[in-house]
A and B are shown apart, each in its own frame.
Chain A
Amino acid sequence: MLAYLIRRLVQTALILVGVSFVTFLLLYVLPADPVRQIAGRSATAQTVENIRHQLGLDQPFIVQYANYFSGLVQGDFGRSYLQKTEVGALIASRLPATLLLMLGAIFCELLIGLTLGSIAAIKRGKWIDQLLMVFSFAAVSAPQFVVGLLALYIFAVKLGWFPIGGYGTFAHLVLPSLTLGIMGSGWYSRMMRSSMVDVLRADFIRTARAKGLTRWRVLGRHALPNAILPIIAMIGIDIGLFMSGIVVVESVFGWPGIGQLAWQAIQRVDIPIIMGVTMVSATAIVLGNLLADLITPFIDPRIKLR
């Protein structure tokens, strides 16, 4: 187990180094010059060259990357070109909002996905099963930008149940969590359905029924916990899915998280921020996957980590 953990952690570190190199390279070859974004339109050629020199952007790629990397291993993400402040501080101030949104989204997707999946499994083959599976398909394919604006328009503007975007209270959290979670709920309802269908066919369910337990007791005490367990391990993998979703959802709802930060930085070629957010999300994704792998044997003792 320990050997496995060490091996995985080394792998994780190597993956992150690879991600940092490839992202840095891609940003370097991008046909867009960050210095011209910083200098603006009225800057003279001299001013542009001065800024390029001050930021060390006149150095060869490998030197620039080495400088960035040596900062990175010391926990220094560098300074934003345009926001003129520490990238680490920018990310730190925005990360809690993103984590909160992810928690909300996980809650929403599990609540919706598991409930609908269970109902569909119990009513397998009936019209309600088919209806729910159509919903899950729609939920997976719906563009989040549209879902977000629609939710905002109906529940915040027309019905006035929730605030129109922003951050701060529980009420602010509901719509963005729902928008971000709805896609996952589609996946989860499908997985839950098939997991539940498998469990319902299992011998121990037949035994439970045979000994005369009520229908609800069979479902609630025996089927549901066994069906949910394998799905819990998927949450770690969700983080990757969320990372792409938060960019859109945070923009629509004015949610001050790192997705919004990344989106603004991409538009303005603010390389230190793009790198910083990429590294933080890559770390979250690989750790999420690692966690998912580590949890699995506890859920299903048949699986051994090697």
Chain B
Amino acid sequence: MFHHKLTASALALSLSLVAPQLAAAQDYTPDPNAVDGGGIIVTYKDDVATLDPAIGYDWQNWSMIKSLFDGLMDYIPGTTDLRPGLAESYEISEDGMTFTFKLRQGVKFHNGREMTAEDVKYSLDRVTNPETMSPGAGFFGMIAGYDAMADGSADSLSGVTVIDPYTVEIKLSRPDATFLHVMALNFSSVVPKEAVDEYGADFGKHPVGTGAFKLADWTIGQKLVFEKNADYWRDGVPYLDSITFEVGQEPIVALLRLQQGEVDVPGDGIPPAKFQEVMSDPAQAERVVVGGQLHTGYITLNVTMPPFDNVEVRRAVNMAINKERITQIINGRAEPATQPLPPSMPGYTTDYEGYAFDPEAAKAMLAEAGLGDGFATELYVMNTDPNPRIAQAIQQDLKAIGVDVAIKSLAQANVIEAGGTEGGAPMIWSGGMAWIADFPDPSNFYGPILGCAGAIEGGWNWSWYCNPELDAMAAEADSITDPAMIEARLQKWSDVYMKVMEDAPWVPVFNESRYTMKSERMGGDDALYVDPVSIPVNYDYVYVTE
């Protein structure tokens, strides 16, 4: 579990507004026991799709890209606290609309060339260029000139200006408190133009960055080898000489190999079928690191489909679900949830209890809504374990208040399709597709999954809940960029989610914990193994003891 205070802009808060924001001298204390050298083996079931930071967007390549590339901003290892990355410092203008980043000097790409402000501009132009087909392009909507890039009428962001080789200025078109988090996303990684030009569409197979590791070998379908970047600009790291990612390994096979000492980290985690066996063996359980993650599993109630258009019905369903029992189905690998935000997210409302489990009250509420005899509906669910079992528990809970639920167990892509089709799915259990934050800020849990922007054909707001009043509140909260006002901003977000709970388009069910298993020889702070941004492991800071 992470116990540190997860204040989104703690760094910014501690410093004054217009003075250069310098890196805290000791933002992270390196492990005094860390030793250099050695290599680790990490396994995955699926192939690595791409290592292009503008395109890679799954939880497997996310942390790999983090180790190959850097952006202007970064996070303190094992935390959700921002720190400067390739930027040495930055200044924010009085109105919060202009950010001036001073770059570190002498940072070299893996090809040996020095990184400059031109590269920063090129990289932001590239990720927002429609031809790049970046899934993350939309994150950059606050940068001036984004719209012209998106509609193809410009080939460069007008808001990004190179002042000198080590200074870049970014102007926003609207104040946005999440901007620095966006600059820490993989999509903002700085890439060298000449390497992108050389490999073209295959840059993702030949990544060149400034990161702690560089790609040494990639045998498609078998393995990738990262080797240490000896010229890395952060002193002392990485500790490991190499990381080998072996792909095509079933999680259960990976676990067997870990038990034989052949694997250091099974990237897909402990398979559910083996979870109890591992945790009940003290020798194995002590090598499992448990942490929170920015995740919420929920049931969406489609507010456009009767009877879920009636708020009373949605509240009744909220009261009918036994969340405690559902967490038991997944061996207690989660905490029951009361609200959309996970507890470790800034803006979480600590004194809110949520809808208590009370089938009798739920029944009474249904009767009040004129549905005393219950009704029949459908629950869409992804067809991989444990989701169908969770769906059955939901089915039983709702049966108890007279609601007949038919379970539609489908492949992930089909559930996503049904959710994004108006009138497609009355209820969806989010398991396997649930929201995990892109960055540790409360706004990231609203727009695409609860806001009007997501309630469109092909969107991810599967309850089709659209409350313009809340959209306005959300926009207002994000326009508060003054670090001194951070508490006011978080309060506003807290209010937004409390209003959401009143309207009850979701049943928040649980917040999943993360369980990372490692080999005996792996060292480093536990927090590195449940790093909230580098999943599963922060490769730059872990080490091996033999």
The interface of chain A, by Cβ under 8 A from chain B, is 30-33, 36-48, 50-51, 54-55, 79, 82-85, 89-90, 93-94, 97, 149, 152-153, 156-157, 164-167, 250-257, 260-261, 264, 267-269
Contacts and interface: CB of A to CB of B under 8 A. Distances in A.
A36 B415 CA distance: 12
Contacts of A79: 201
Given A36-B417, A85-B202, 11 more contacts: A55-B133, A84-B204, A85-B50, A97-B221, A165-B253, A165-B257, A251-B45, A251-B248, A254-B249, A254-B250, A256-B222
Contacts of A48: 458
B135 A40 contact: yes
B252 A50 contact: no
Contacts of B250: 165, 251-252, 254
A55 B47 CA distance: 22
30 contacts: A30-B413, A32-B417, A36-B413, A41-B435, A41-B449, A43-B137, A43-B138, A45-B456, A50-B137, A50-B150, A51-B135, A54-B131, A82-B50, A83-B49, A84-B50, A84-B204, A85-B50, A85-B202, A85-B205, A90-B220, A93-B220, A94-B220, A156-B256, A157-B259, A165-B249, A250-B248, A252-B253, A254-B248, A267-B412, A267-B413
A55 B417 CA distance: 19
B212 to A, nearest CB: 24
Contacts of B205: 84-85
Nearest to A168: B222
Contacts of B136: 40, 42-43
Contacts of A149: 252
Contact of A43 (B130, B135, B220): B135
Contacts of B201: 79, 84-85
B221 A94 contact: yes
A36 B453 CA distance: 15
A254 B267 CA distance: 14
B310 interface: no
Contact of A42 (B55, B138, B219): B138
Contacts of B221: 90, 93-94, 97, 256-257, 260-261
Contact of B50 (A83, A251, A268): A83
Interface string B239-278: 0000000101110110011011010000000000000000
A168 to B, nearest CB: 8
B256 A157 contact: yes
A254 B254 CA distance: 10
Given A83-B50, A84-B50, A260-B221, A254 B138 contact: no
Contact of A31 (B50, B253, B414, B438): B414
Nearest to B257: A164
Given A32-B413, A42-B138, A46-B138, A84 B458 contact: no
A42 B141 contact: no
B135 A39 contact: yes
B57 interface: yes
B413 A153 contact: no
A47 B417 contact: no
A33 B248 contact: no
A54 B202 CA distance: 16
Given A45-B459, A93-B220, A268 B413 contact: yes
B448 interface: yes
Interface of B: 45-47, 49-50, 52, 55, 57-58, 130-131, 133-139, 141, 150, 201-202, 204-205, 219-222, 246, 248-250, 252-253, 256-257, 259-260, 262, 411-414, 416-418, 420, 435, 438, 448-449, 453, 456, 458-460
Nearest to A48: B458
A53 to B, nearest CB: 8
A260 B248 contact: yes
B458 A41 contact: no
Contacts of B460: 41
Nearest 9 CB-CB pairings of A with B? A32-B413, A44-B138, A256-B221, A40-B135, A254-B248, A84-B50, A50-B130, A40-B57, A254-B249
Nearest to B150: A46
A50 B248 CA distance: 32
A48 B150 CA distance: 11
Nearest to A45: B456
A173 B130 CA distance: 45
Nearest to B249: A254
A269 B416 CA distance: 12
A264 B413 CA distance: 13
Contacts of A255: 248
A38 B133 contact: yes
Contacts of B52: 84
Contacts of B58: 40
Nearest to B58: A40
B133 A54 contact: yes
A150 to B, nearest CB: 12
A172 to B, nearest CB: 11
A47 B54 CA distance: 13
A257 B249 CA distance: 12
A37 B253 contact: no
B139 to A, nearest CB: 7
B172 to A, nearest CB: 17
A89 B57 CA distance: 22
B517 to A, nearest CB: 16
A110 B148 CA distance: 65
Contact of A47 (B46, B137, B259, B414): B137
B456 to A, nearest CB: 6
B138 A83 contact: no
A40 B185 CA distance: 15
A262 to B, nearest CB: 12
A32 B205 CA distance: 27
A269 B133 contact: no
A49 to B, nearest CB: 9
Contacts of B438: 42
Residue from the set B46, B50, B131, B221 with the largest chain A CB neighbour count within 10 Å: B221
A131 to B, nearest CB: 32
A257 to B, nearest CB: 8
A44 B140 CA distance: 11
Contacts of B448: 41-42
Given A42-B138, A84-B204, A264 B253 contact: no
Residue from the set A89, A152, A254 with the largest chain B CB neighbour count within 10 Å: A254
A116 B414 CA distance: 46
A230 B34 CA distance: 67
Nearest to A250: B248
B430 to A, nearest CB: 11
A255 B250 CA distance: 10
Given A93-B221, A164-B253, A256-B222, A36 B420 contact: yes
Contacts of A251: 45, 248, 250
A31 B46 CA distance: 23
A118 to B, nearest CB: 36
A89 B253 CA distance: 28
B414 A32 contact: yes
A31 to B, nearest CB: 5
Contacts of B46: 264
A94 B222 CA distance: 9
Contact of B133 (A51, A164, A250, A254): A51
A23 B449 CA distance: 34
B321 to A, nearest CB: 24
Nearest to B187: A42
A44 B141 contact: yes
Contacts of A44: 137-138, 141, 453
Given A44-B453, A51-B133, A31 B138 contact: no
